[in-house]
Structure 1
Amino acid sequence: MAIGGTLGTGLFSGSGEALRDGGPIGLILGHIVMGLIVYSMIAALGEMVIVFPVKDPLIEYPARFVDPALAFAFGWNYWYALWVFLYARCFINSSHCRYSFAITLTTEITAAGMMGTSFFPTGFRYIGFRRQYSCQPLSRQVVYKTATKIATVAGAILLGIVYISGGFPKQDRIGFRYWIDPGPFNQFDDIPGSQGRFLAFWSVLGHVAFSHQGTEIIVLAAIETENLRKKIPKAIQAVIYRISIFYVGSMTVAGLLVAHNYELLGAAGAGAAAFSPFIIAFRSINGDGVAVVVTLGSFIIISLIPALSSHLYAGSEVLFSLYSYENENGPLAPRCFSRRARNGALFVGIGITAVFGLLAYISTKGSLERANEVYEDFSRMSSISVLMTWWSILLTYIRFYHGVSKKVGIDRNMFVYKAPYQPWLSCFGFAMITLVVIFNGFEVFLRGEWSTSKFISAYISLLIFTLCFIWWKISQRTRFVKLDQMDFETGRSELNPLHGVVEEEKNVNSVGKSNNFLQWAREARKSGASGWWTVGTRSKTGPRKSQQATPPSQLDEIPLQTHDASSSTLRPPTDCPAHLRPL
C-alpha cells in the first residue's frame, strides 16, 4: 500500500518542474538527499513500531516521548497533508486527462472534458465509498494495481532508455547530449557560479518531497498485519529499493530525455501534463502524440486507484486516532469520526477526506495557465506539510533513543530491529527537514521575485502546524515529557524486546536452523495420545523404539531430553546439538 500510494503521477508530473529548476544533476541529487531523509524517517518509525505496536502509533508516540501538544499538532497536520495531497493528486490526474486528449485528438475535446469531470469523480466515489468498506478486498485490489503500476513505471523507464539510445525509427541517438548543452546544472534565476547551482539544487528539494509523500502509511497498515516484527524490516528494505530504482533511476532517464531549458517545461498554458519530460519525449515517437494517450492515459487510470485508496485509508485512520487517543482532557477530534459501518469501515472519515479531493475537478474548468499555478501552490503546500510530519517523527525518535539510553535495564541491542547509524541518521534527517521548511520559499525574497501566492503556499503549512501546537499547549497546559518520565511499559510487544525474550527466540531459531530438533519435537506432539506423547527415537544399530515421553506440562522443564525405560537414564535425541546434551 505504501508503494502504491506514493509511486504515481507525482513521480512524473513533478519531475518536469524540478528538472526545469535544478537541471538533471540537481534533480538526481535532490532525489538522493530526499531519499536519505525518507529512509531515516521510516527506519526510525519502524523501530518504534516493532517495540511498541500500539493502536495509534502516529498519535501515541509524540504524546509519550515529547509532548501531548505535539501529538495534537502532528495528527491534524498529517490529515491536512493527506487531503492537500489528495487534492493535488486528483487535480493533476484530471489535468493530465484533459491535456492529453485535447492535444492528441482535437476532435474529442468534448469527450476529454467529460472524462475529466465525470469519469474520475464517479471512480472517486466508487473507490472512497465502496472499496474502503472492506479491508481484505481493498488490500487485494491495491496489490494487483500496484503490481501493474510498478510494471508501467518500469516500462516507461525502459522505453526512455530505448529513446535515448536511438532505438526508434527516424530518431537520432541522444545519449548525454543535454548534459553537455545546456549543461548538467541550471543557474537559478541566472545567478552565476556555484551559488546559482546550489540554489537550483535547493529549489528541487521541495518538489521531490511531493513525490515521496505517503511512505509513512506503511506503519498504519503494518499495525493491522500479523508478525509485523518480520514484515516491517522487509518493508523498510522495499523503500530503499523503491528510492534507488524507481526514483533515482527514472529521474536519471528523465534528465537525459529533455533539456532543462526546453520551452515547454513550465510554459504558461501548456497544461500540467507538459511538466513531464517523459510525455514531451514520447510525443515525438509517433508523430501526433498517439504514444501520449497510450502510455500516459493508461498509467493515470492505473495509478489513480491505489493512490487514492491508500490516502483515503490513512486519512480516515488519522481522524479516528485523534478521537480514540486516551487523553485526560478528552479526545483530540469530534466523536463523529469514530462512526463505522457494519464491517468496520470509518465511513465518516473517508467521506470528509474525499470531499476535499472532489474540489480538484472544479479547478480544472478554468484556463490551463491558472491550472498550472493552482497545482504548483497545492503541491508546495503538500510538500511542506508532509515534511512537518516527518520532522515530528524524527524528533519523537530522537527523544525515544535518548530515553532508552537513560533507562536502566533496557538494552537496545536486544531489539528485533534497530534503525542503523543512530542517532546520527535521524539527526541528519531532522536538520535537513528543518532547513528545507524554513528556506523553501527563498525565491520570493529575491529582488523582483515577490509573489503573494507563492509566499502563502510556502509557509501556510508551517503556520498551521505551529498554531495547532501553541493552542493545545496553552489551552490544555501540557508539559514536556522528561527522559526519566517516559513510559516504556504500556503497549509493548507481546514478545518484549526490552526484557530479553526476543533474544531467547533468536537463539531457538538459530538452533532450529542447524539441526532437526524442532522437527523432532513436532513429531513428538503429533504422535501423542490421551495427553501423553509417544516419542520415537532411532538408534544407530536397531529399529525405531517407542517410548513414553514427558507430558506437555513438564516439557519445558526437560525440553531436550527423552526417557529411556530400559536403562532408566535420560538421553538426548540423536540429532540434538552437542552443546545442548546433558552432562
Structure 2
Amino acid sequence: LGERHVNMIAFSSTIGIGLFLQSGKIMYLIGPGGAVLAYLFMGTLLWSANASLGEMTAVFPVKGPIIDFPSRYLDEGVGFAVGWMAWFAYINLTATEVSAVASLFKFKFEPEYLASFSYPQETLQWTFGLNTNPAVWVGMMLLGILAINLLPVRAYGEIEYVCGCIKLIVIVGIIMMNTIINANNTRTNGTSHFQLYQLPWGFFSNQTVTDPSGGRTYTFTGGTGRLVGMWSAMNTIFFSLQGFFTVSVTAAENKHVERDEAIKLATRKVSLRVILLYVLVVFTVGLNVPYNDKNLQDQTISSIRRGQNSPIIIACIHNSIVGWPHFFNAFYIFSAFSCGVNGLFIASRLLHALASIRNVWPNTGWGANIKARLERTSSKGVPVNAVFVSWLFGLLGFLAVKPSPARILGRMAIFSTCSMLIVYACVAISFLYFKTRTINGDPDEGVLVSTPEGQFLNRNASDYPYKSHLQWLRSAYALFGCCLLIIFIGWRAFLNPFSHADFLAAYLSV
C-alpha cells in the first residue's frame, strides 16, 4: 500500500452510517450545539489515542501494533485480550454496516410528513426495496465484501482510494448544500442563521429515555439532561469512529512505512479530515433541521436507522429539494458497504497478527493447527483463511432481518463499543510506559541513546520518525476520557426496572 491508499482507507473506514444516519440521533439526544461539542470531544479523544499508537508504530513498525504494544509495555495477557476485543469489534462493525444496507433499502416517507412541509411530491420511497426480503441485501453485501477482501492488497487499496475520494467529494457537497440552504432561508424569511440553535429549540435538548421494557419514560432536564444526553451521544459517536487506528493496523503492508514521517503524516491527515468534516456536516445540518423533528426522534439504546431518519435527507424535504434524497440514500448504501469492506480488512489483519503469536493459542494439536492455518497467506500476501474466518462472523448481519434479533445486534454494538474503549485506554497507557523509555536528548545524537540507566529513544533526534508535542498529556487525556466513558456506558440499564441484558452488553467486556 502507498501513502495515498493508507490515507483513504483510514478515512473511508470512519465514514459509514455513523455520520449520515446516527448524526440525526445525536442531534435529538443532545441538541444541535451539543452534537457539535460531542463530535469535537470524541474526535480529539480518539485523535489523542491514535497519535499515541502512531508514534509507537512509526518507531516500531510491527504487525498488529494494537496487540504488540500493550503486550510489550503492560502485560502479555493484556495484549492478547486487547487483540481479541479489537477483532470482535471490527467484525461487529462489518455486521452492523451490512445490516444498515438492508435497512436503507426500506426507504419510505409517510405522505403526511411530506405534506406538512409542502413537498412537491406526494410520495417518496423505493418500491423495489420495500418488497424485497432484507436477507437478500445482507447476503449480496457480504459476498461483495468477501470478494474485495480476497483481492491482492494493492488492488484493494486502489478500490478504497476511489471510494474514499468519492466520499470526500460528496461530504464537501453536503456541507456546501446545507450552507446554501441556510443562506437562502435567511434571505427569504428574514430569520437568523442560527435560528434552530436558539429558543424555542435551543443549543441543547432535554434527554428523554424509555426504559428497556418500554413501561416508563424518563425526561431529564437542565444540567442533568445535558449530561446524560452528552453521555449517550458520545457512546453512539464512538462506534462510528472505530476506524481511527487503521493507519497503524496497515503499517505491515505500507511500503512507505520506513520513510520518515510516513506514519506521522497519515495519522494527522486522517484525524484532521475526519474531525473537521464530521463537525462541519453536523453543524451545517443543524442550521436547517430542528432536533425535535419527528423522523429524528430515537430513544433506543442502540438502533440501526434508515434513510428517512437522515438529517441530510430531512433537510432536503424541509426545503422541497427533489431528486437528491434518492441520491443520498444510494450514497449511504455505498458508504456502508465500503465501511464494511474496511471493517473486514482490519479484522482479518488483526486475526492474522494474533495467529503469529505463539502464546495466544492452546499448545494442543488442534490449537497449533488453527494457528498455522490462520497464519498462512496466498501468493499475493493475502491472509485468506483469516479473511474467511472473520467474514463468517459477518453473517451476524442477518440478525437485523427481524426486529427481535436486531435488538441483539444493537446490544452487540454496545459490547464492541466498550471493548474498543478498553483497547484505546490500553494503547494510551502503553504510550505512557513507552514515554518512560524515551529522553529529549541532543538532536545530533541517534534515535537510540545509551546511558548508565540503560538504552533510551531520543525523541529530539533528527531522524526520529514521529514526535508530537505534549503527547504524554494527550495520552493521559485519552486514558481519562476512555475510562469515564467505560464507567458510564451502561447508565441507562440502571433505570427502574433494571435491565440485566443491557447491563451485561455494556460491561461484559470489562
> TM-score if structure 1 supplies the norm length?
0.71
The separation in 1 between residues aligned to 2:292 and 2:154, in whole angstroms, is 47
Equivalent residue, structure 2, for 1:460? 508
CA separation of 1:434 and 1:33: change in aligned 2, threshold 3 A? same
SS in 2 for 1:223: helix
Equivalent residue, structure 2, for 1:556? none
CA separation of 1:155 and 1:376: change in aligned 2, threshold 3 A? farther
SS in 1 for 2:291: coil
| 1:354 equivalenced with 2:391 (yes/no) | yes
Contact 1:164 1:174 in 2 (8 A): no
Deviations 1:269-296 (A, max 9, x none): 9953344211222234447x74321222
Choose the corresponding residue for 1:294, options 311, 314, 327. 327
| 1:273 equivalenced with 2:307 (yes/no) | yes
Contact 2:103 2:306 in 1 (8 A): yes
The separation in 2 between residues aligned to 1:450 and 1:27, in whole angstroms, is 28
The separation in 1 between residues aligned to 2:494 and 2:137, in whole angstroms, is 42
The separation in 2 between residues aligned to 1:139 and 1:171, in whole angstroms, is 48
Choose the corresponding residue for 2:459, options 412, 422, 426. 412
SS in 1 for 2:470: coil
The separation in 2 between residues aligned to 1:193 and 1:102, in whole angstroms, is 33
Contact 1:4 1:149 in 2 (8 A): yes
Amino acid in structure 1 at the alignment position of 2:326 = V
Deviation at 1:23, TM superposition (A): 1.1
Query: What is the aligned-residue identity percentage?
Result: 24
Amino acid in structure 1 at the alignment position of 2:99 = F
Amino acid in structure 1 at the alignment position of 2:470 = Y
Deviation at 1:386, TM superposition (A): 1.8
The separation in 2 between residues aligned to 1:19 and 1:200, in whole angstroms, is 10
Equivalent residue, structure 2, for 1:441? 490
The separation in 1 between residues aligned to 2:356 and 2:164, in whole angstroms, is 31
Equivalent residue, structure 2, for 1:513? none
Contact 1:40 1:426 in 2 (8 A): yes
The separation in 2 between residues aligned to 1:423 and 1:24, in whole angstroms, is 32
When structure 1 is superposed on structure 2, of 429-438 and 158-167 the one drifting more is 158-167
Contact 2:24 2:309 in 1 (8 A): yes
Contact 1:17 1:265 in 2 (8 A): yes
Choose the corresponding residue for 2:75, options 67, 79, 100. 67
| 1:13 equivalenced with 2:50 (yes/no) | no
SS in 2 for 1:186: coil
The separation in 1 between residues aligned to 2:11 and 2:133, in whole angstroms, is 27
Deviations 1:513-568 (A, max 9, x none): xxxxxxxxxxxxxxxxxxxxxxxxxxxxxxxxxxxxxxxxxxxxxxxxxxxxxxxx
Amino acid in structure 1 at the alignment position of 2:182 = I
SS in 2 for 1:133: coil
1:184-263 superposed matches below 5 A: 184-189=203-208, 190-228=219-257, 229-263=260-294
The separation in 1 between residues aligned to 2:12 and 2:254, in whole angstroms, is 17
Equivalent residue, structure 2, for 1:451? 499
Equivalent residue, structure 2, for 1:40? 48
The separation in 1 between residues aligned to 2:242 and 2:456, in whole angstroms, is 37
Contact 1:129 1:350 in 2 (8 A): no
The separation in 1 between residues aligned to 2:156 and 2:56, in whole angstroms, is 27
The separation in 2 between residues aligned to 1:29 and 1:107, in whole angstroms, is 33
CA separation of 1:293 and 1:373: change in aligned 2, threshold 3 A? farther
Amino acid in structure 1 at the alignment position of 2:507 = Y
The separation in 2 between residues aligned to 1:159 and 1:421, in whole angstroms, is 38
When structure 1 is superposed on structure 2, of 229-238 and 62-71 the one drifting more is 229-238
The separation in 1 between residues aligned to 2:133 and 2:161, in whole angstroms, is 26
Deviation at 1:375, TM superposition (A): 6.0
1:139-218 superposed matches below 5 A: 139-166=157-184, 175-180=193-198, 181-189=200-208, 190-218=219-247
The separation in 1 between residues aligned to 2:348 and 2:323, in whole angstroms, is 39
Contact 1:85 1:378 in 2 (8 A): no
Amino acid in structure 2 at the alignment position of 1:294 = F
Amino acid in structure 1 at the alignment position of 2:341 = S
Amino acid in structure 2 at the alignment position of 1:380 = I
- Long gaps (5+) in structure 2: 1-8, 112-121, 209-218, 440-452
Equivalent residue, structure 2, for 1:318? 350
Amino acid in structure 1 at the alignment position of 2:356 = S
Equivalent residue, structure 1, for 2:156? 138
Amino acid in structure 2 at the alignment position of 1:255 = G
When structure 1 is superposed on structure 2, of 117-126 and 341-350 the one drifting more is 117-126
SS in 2 for 1:257: coil
CA separation of 1:174 and 1:334: change in aligned 2, threshold 3 A? farther
When structure 1 is superposed on structure 2, of 241-250 and 135-144 the one drifting more is 241-250
CA separation of 1:101 and 1:177: change in aligned 2, threshold 3 A? closer
More RCO (CA 8 Å, sep 6+): 2
CA separation of 1:349 and 1:250: change in aligned 2, threshold 3 A? same
Deviation at 1:169, TM superposition (A): 12
CA separation of 1:166 and 1:33: change in aligned 2, threshold 3 A? same
Choose the corresponding residue for 2:477, options 428, 446, 467. 428
Contact 2:196 2:287 in 1 (8 A): yes
Contact 1:79 1:319 in 2 (8 A): yes
Amino acid in structure 1 at the alignment position of 2:250 = A
Contact 1:337 1:349 in 2 (8 A): yes
Report the RMSD for the aligned CA atoms in angstroms: 3.0
Amino acid in structure 1 at the alignment position of 2:476 = C
Deviations 1:43-101 (A, max 9, x none): 11111111111233222211111100011101110111001111111111211122359
Equivalent residue, structure 2, for 1:390? 424
Equivalent residue, structure 2, for 1:282? 316
Amino acid in structure 1 at the alignment position of 2:424 = W
